[in-house]
A and B are shown apart, each in its own frame.
Chain A
Amino acid sequence: MDIVVKNLTKKYGNQRAVDDISFEVRTGEVLGFLGPNGAGKTTTMKAITSFLRPDAGSILVGEYSAITQADEVKRVIGYLPEHNSLYTDMPVIDYLKFVAELQGIDKSRIPDRILEMVDVCGLEGEKHKKIGELSKGYQQRVGLAQALIHDPEVLILDEPTTGLDPNQIVEIRELIKKIGREKTVILSSHILAEVEATCDRIMIINKGKIVADGTDEELKKHAQGKEIIRVSVEGVDRNEFIPVVQELQTVDSVDPVDSEEDNSNSFEITSHLDMSSRKAIFQQCVEKGWILTEMTLIVTKLEDVFHDLTMN
């Protein structure tokens, strides 16, 4: 089931939490929302679940409008909110039954669905405990179980792995990927590695606007553009090295690394767009008799892309 968001705007007072954003998510796609705190990720998600009414714009989930057909949209969406607030005085099983009934699952299928969710989310040992007695990680699993219980076409997860231990995180990521093959999934996170590992497509939001949208390779390529290499040399003074390298046709700029220490001879060399300086530098070193001790291609990490786009 596709999600189409058009010109979505949501204001809190005078502040635009989400400012005229448009995007689409297709069936079988896992979309990761990245963004600093307060960027508008949660607001966008809440608008899609029709919990929040946007000030402007339209949201279509499949053929249903999240604004005028809230009930239909809520039936096809499984939602895990950021502050996963569950009824702490209810036992896990009772809570799942309550949600299953609200979602209109056929009475005869409810016990099977609950057992399946308990199994999938690893709640076997805790199913009769009250939710308030569970640890944060287990509560998060209950949150996931309630989101998945009606086998929704669309899954919206706001920071799904907070509070989970590393093993659980791996399990949940696998689960999300598996679901993502057939269903539409939107998840938000501030853990970049998580988004890289689970999402087919990444969207970075800052101050209510989309600042980047694409696969992680596309984003990195887009941010990188120029080749940057790290070079260390011996047997040459820095003041001698820089002008020579700077003269090379392919080189855009040379920056010494650790500039406080005078005897350091490491440099970051940026090439012009679509050019490589690696051969030329090597040949230069050979000619001058400098000893090249390091030459590393610096790969842009998603962290850098994120930092560049959101720090202005």
Chain B
Amino acid sequence: MRQIWIICKRELNSFFDSLMAYVMLIAFLGFSGFFTWIYVADVFFIGQASLQVFFGISYWTLFFFIPALTMGQLAEENRSGTIELLLTKPVDNMQVVIGKFLSTLILISLALAFTLPYYITIANIGPVDHGAVISGYIGLILLSASYISIGIFASSVSKNQIVGFLLALFIGILFQWVFGTVATSISGFFGELFNFLSLQTHFDSISRGVIDSKDIIYFLSIIVFGLVASSTIMAKRNN
């Protein structure tokens, strides 16, 4: 646990030193702010005191931003060879993977924390469903964690950051969009299966305020699968 935290701390410092963290925070707040408050289909257009618009926007913004953060996390270590010095310290593959996962998750959580003023503003405009907002944020964090896990897996596959980015987007789009679309066009067992695999289904139900253990298990499975796969690939490469 100590080792994971040390690695996580270093990653966070590196996010902030390289300005990546600031760019990400500003871009995320800019995008989500613009589409939530200013663009045509904004909060005022709907006429309800709800953060549904913001959650919908974040769903897509995070989809693109997270791979940009994770793409280099393992690929760059492998390319430059820094992984050798790291793994010859008393640290194992899984600790490295979890450390990196946590650092990105903390950064994303920070970005989400900066959107709390949206909530406060909405709450002052009209009666807001507090439960739905809280579960919406939980949904966004689970969603981010899943994408981070997928992103780190994509980053472990190759020494090339671009491959890491594109692969993460590719895997992401399957969960984000393709499974859901396929599910609507076929019926029966496979229709059910694809519907279950679709991230949208699970995210929608959480962001509406329904926290079902089925959805939590779904997100946790993606996270655990991604982390274990990354660590396995790293172990393969070094052996």
Kindly supply a per-residue 1/0 record for chain B positions 84-121, scoring 1 wherever the CB is within 8 Å of any chain A CB and 0 otherwise. 11111111100000000000000000000000000000
Asked whether, in the complex, the Cβ of A83 is within 8 Å of the Cβ of B88, the reply is no
Asked whether, in the complex, the Cβ of A99 is within 8 Å of the Cβ of B84, the reply is no
Residues in B with CB closer than 8 Å to A51 are 84, 87-88, 238
Residues in A with CB closer than 8 Å to B2 are 104
Asked whether, in the complex, the Cβ of B81 is within 8 Å of the Cβ of A77, the reply is no
Q: Is A87 an interface residue (CB 8 A)?
A: yes
Residues in A with CB closer than 8 Å to B81 are 81, 83, 85
Interface centre among B17, B18, B90, B92 (most CB of A within 10 A): B90
- In the complex, which of the residues B14, B86, B239 contacts A52, with contact meaning CB atoms closer than 8 Å? B239
Given contacts A87-B14, A102-B90, A104-B90, contact A81 B85 (CB under 8 A): yes
Asked whether, in the complex, the Cβ of B89 is within 8 Å of the Cβ of A102, the reply is yes
Q: Is A53 an interface residue (CB 8 A)?
A: yes
Among the stretches A13-21, A68-76, A228-236, the one at the interface with B is A68-76
Kindly supply a per-residue 1/0 record for chain A positions 80-95, scoring 1 wherever the CB is within 8 Å of any chain B CB and 0 otherwise. 0101111111100010
Asked whether, in the complex, the Cβ of B238 is within 8 Å of the Cβ of A52, the reply is yes
How far in angstroms is the closest Cβ of chain A from B199? Answer: 33
- In the complex, which of the residues B14, B17, B89, B238 contacts A99, with contact meaning CB atoms closer than 8 Å? B89
Q: Is A116 an interface residue (CB 8 A)?
A: no
Asked whether, in the complex, the Cβ of A85 is within 8 Å of the Cβ of B90, the reply is no
Which residue of chain B is the closest to A49 with respect to CB atoms?
A: B88
Asked whether, in the complex, the Cβ of B88 is within 8 Å of the Cβ of A81, the reply is yes
Asked whether, in the complex, the Cβ of B13 is within 8 Å of the Cβ of A74, the reply is no
How far in angstroms is the closest Cβ of chain B from A249? Answer: 59
How far in angstroms is the closest Cβ of chain B from A82? Answer: 9
Which residue of chain B is the closest to A72 with respect to CB atoms?
A: B90
In the assembled complex, the Cα of A50 lies from the Cα of B238 at a distance in Å of 10
Q: Is A304 an interface residue (CB 8 A)?
A: no
How far in angstroms is the closest Cβ of chain A from B16? Answer: 11
Q: Is A146 an interface residue (CB 8 A)?
A: yes
Asked whether, in the complex, the Cβ of B82 is within 8 Å of the Cβ of A75, the reply is no
Kindly supply a per-residue 1/0 record for chain B positions 135-155, scoring 1 wherever the CB is within 8 Å of any chain A CB and 0 otherwise. 000000000000000000000
Given contacts A85-B84, A89-B17, A146-B85, contact A74 B238 (CB under 8 A): no
In the assembled complex, the Cα of A7 lies from the Cα of B121 at a distance in Å of 70
Q: Is B3 an interface residue (CB 8 A)?
A: yes
Asked whether, in the complex, the Cβ of A101 is within 8 Å of the Cβ of B6, the reply is yes
Residues in A with CB closer than 8 Å to B7 are 102
Residues in A with CB closer than 8 Å to B13 are 90, 94
In the assembled complex, the Cα of A264 lies from the Cα of B7 at a distance in Å of 70
Which residue of chain A is the closest to B239 with respect to CB atoms?
A: A53
Q: Is A103 an interface residue (CB 8 A)?
A: yes
Interface centre among B7, B10, B14, B88 (most CB of A within 10 A): B88
Residues in B with CB closer than 8 Å to A79 are 85, 88
Q: Is A282 an interface residue (CB 8 A)?
A: no
Q: Is A98 an interface residue (CB 8 A)?
A: yes
Residues in A with CB closer than 8 Å to B91 are 74, 102
Q: Is B80 an interface residue (CB 8 A)?
A: yes
In the assembled complex, the Cα of A50 lies from the Cα of B91 at a distance in Å of 11
Residues in B with CB closer than 8 Å to A90 are 10, 13-14, 17
Which residues of A (36-82) have their CB < 8 Å from a CB of B? 46, 49-53, 70-71, 74-75, 77, 79, 81
Which residues of B (6-23) have their CB < 8 Å from a CB of A? 6-7, 10, 13-14, 17-18
28 contacts between A and B (CB under 8 A): A50-B88, A52-B238, A52-B239, A70-B92, A71-B90, A74-B91, A77-B88, A79-B85, A81-B88, A83-B84, A84-B85, A85-B80, A85-B81, A85-B84, A85-B85, A86-B85, A87-B10, A87-B14, A89-B14, A89-B18, A90-B17, A98-B6, A102-B3, A102-B6, A102-B86, A102-B90, A102-B91, A103-B89
Could you list 16 further interchain pairs (A-B, Cβ under 8 angstroms) beyond the known A90-B10, A104-B90?
A49-B88, A51-B84, A51-B238, A71-B92, A74-B89, A77-B88, A81-B84, A83-B81, A83-B84, A85-B80, A85-B82, A85-B84, A85-B85, A89-B14, A102-B89, A102-B90
Q: Which residues of B does A touch, CB under 8 Å?
A: 2-3, 6-7, 10, 13-14, 17-18, 80-82, 84-92, 238-239
Closest 7 CB pairs of A and B: A85-B81, A102-B89, A53-B239, A74-B90, A79-B88, A49-B88, A71-B90
